[in-house]
Amino acid sequence: MLAAIGSQNVEELFDEIPASLRMGKLSGVPEGLIEQDIARLMMQRAEDDGRPLCFMGAGSYDHHIPAAVWEITTRGEFYSAYTPYQAEASQGTLQLIYEYQTMMTELTGLDVSNASLYDGASGLAEAVLMAVRANRKSKSRRILVPTTVDPRYRQTTHTIVNNQQIELVEVPYCPEGGNTLAAALKQYEGEDIAALVIQHPNFFGILEEVDMLTDWAHAQGALVIGVANPVSMALLKPPGAWGTKGADIACGEGQPLGVPMMGGGPYFGYMCCKKEYVRQMPGRIVGRTIDRDERVGYTLTLQAREQHIRRSKATSNICTNQGLLVTAATIHMSLLGAEGLKRVAQACHANTRKLVAALTVSECVEPVFNRPYFHEAALRFSLPLDSVVRPLHAHNILPGYALAQDYPELGDCLLVCATETRSDADIERYAGHLGRVIQTQTAAGCPVKPKMA
């Protein structure tokens, strides 16, 4: 290939890259392995990781996935299918995306769904960009983002929109309730705000006052971007029903719908909106039609991305949807149905209540917030958190997510989660080990902080 293009060697091929930008030789890269040795290595690493009892959430959730979901998803016709550039030749793929879109609009209570996004975090970034375009009355490019929104979502959104002259304005949470208060928004009344982001349940698992927040935003001429856990929407009021008019855009992480935790990905993001904003929606939309012979057919109805239209008119530079994960989610929702998804949500909530009750038996553990929650709750430990977490890890328990890394004011606080997969025996095991750890730590003279008033 080098000879064909007239280059003497690879260095000459890349000579236009300044030396200061070159990485040089890679260090620390192990020798290559044959396939069977790689498989053996990965199996060994999986065994070293073990199968810990997981009480972590914080955006990725350990749900039961029926065996049929991935047995069907990994069939050849689904596993290797991709929306082709002559899309109508692939009716099966298009029909599946259409069914997914239909299910997501029913779940969110909104009019239109796209064919998915990369993940929930980039979904929020795209929703912010979409809101700035769609809110023609606003010129400010200011977005109110409560600090109760997932920190990863906020970081990703900042990375994507910061250099596009969009300002993300943080709104503090209530220290007692862990939610966004009307008083925190009052200072922005009468100002030009493009949109308000509402995560419900929020990152702490707390239920927000979505009706009040939505109506407040609309009264200010702002759009509402709802970020919601798809499982919770089977039980709680969906974004399309928030307040008097409903949220304008909904987005979030689709992982709870049949996608394994898989060490953090790949996942998929969903996005839905009101019909009036559909031309500002990024990605693809599949439509259903009838041909001249009265046969049902599916087609790519809208593709507002830069590969298909002029770059200046594109809504996004998204180049793909997460088709394989969407396939799994569609099959998962089809198998569970509305009633099954509701039962999953109810079981998650019930198990988290049991977990909180079992862990707070100890005087060294108390809830951080006093408001209702869905399937996550923040707990404060009067002992140094590290002295509690390390022994639990040694007992093969993932006890929760340390909040101090994102919220320094919540030192020694743990975000715990229990989905429908956690049994009473699992909860008893966690509580039992925690009780013994606390007893050992206090007997050893580990300092105990006074409880919060």
**Residue 115 CB burial class (10 angstroms; 0-12, 13-18, ≥19):** buried
Instruction: Supply the pLDDT for residue 431.
Output: 97
Pick from 163, 218, 229: nearest CA to 193: 218
Instruction: Supply the pLDDT for residue 318.
Output: 67
Q: One fold for both 53-61+337-443 and 67-333?
A: no
Instruction: Supply the pLDDT for residue 303.
Output: 75
Instruction: Supply the pLDDT for residue 80.
Output: 76
Block mean pLDDT (10 aa), the chain, length 453: 89 88 84 94 87 95 97 88 66 91 98 94 95 95 98 97 94 98 96 98 98 98 98 97 98 97 90 95 90 90 69 68 91 97 98 98 95 98 94 95 97 97 97 95 71 54
Per-residue pLDDT of 313-371, as tens digits, reads: 777 766 567 889 999 999 999 999 999 999 999 999 999 999 999 999 999 999 999 99
Instruction: Supply the pLDDT for residue 167.
Output: 97
Residues in Cβ contact with 142 at an 8 Å cutoff, skipping those fewer than 6 apart:
166, 167, 169, 191, 192, 193, 194
Instruction: Supply the pLDDT for residue 84.
Output: 59
Q: At the fourth CATH level, which superfamily is domain 53-61+337-443?
A: Aspartate Aminotransferase, domain 1 (3.90.1150.10)
Instruction: Supply the pLDDT for residue 370.
Output: 97
Q: What architecture does CATH give domain 67-333?
A: 3-Layer(aba) Sandwich (3.40)
The domain spans of the chain are 53-61+337-443, 67-333
Amino acid symbol at 223: L
Share of the chain above pLDDT 90, in %: 77
Task: Identify any residues that bridge with 54 across adjacent strands, giving them in sequence order.
Answer: 398
Global pTM exceeds 0.85:
yes
Instruction: Supply the pLDDT for residue 427.
Output: 98
CA atoms in the 13 A half-sphere facing the CB of 156: 17
Instruction: Supply the pLDDT for residue 220.
Output: 97
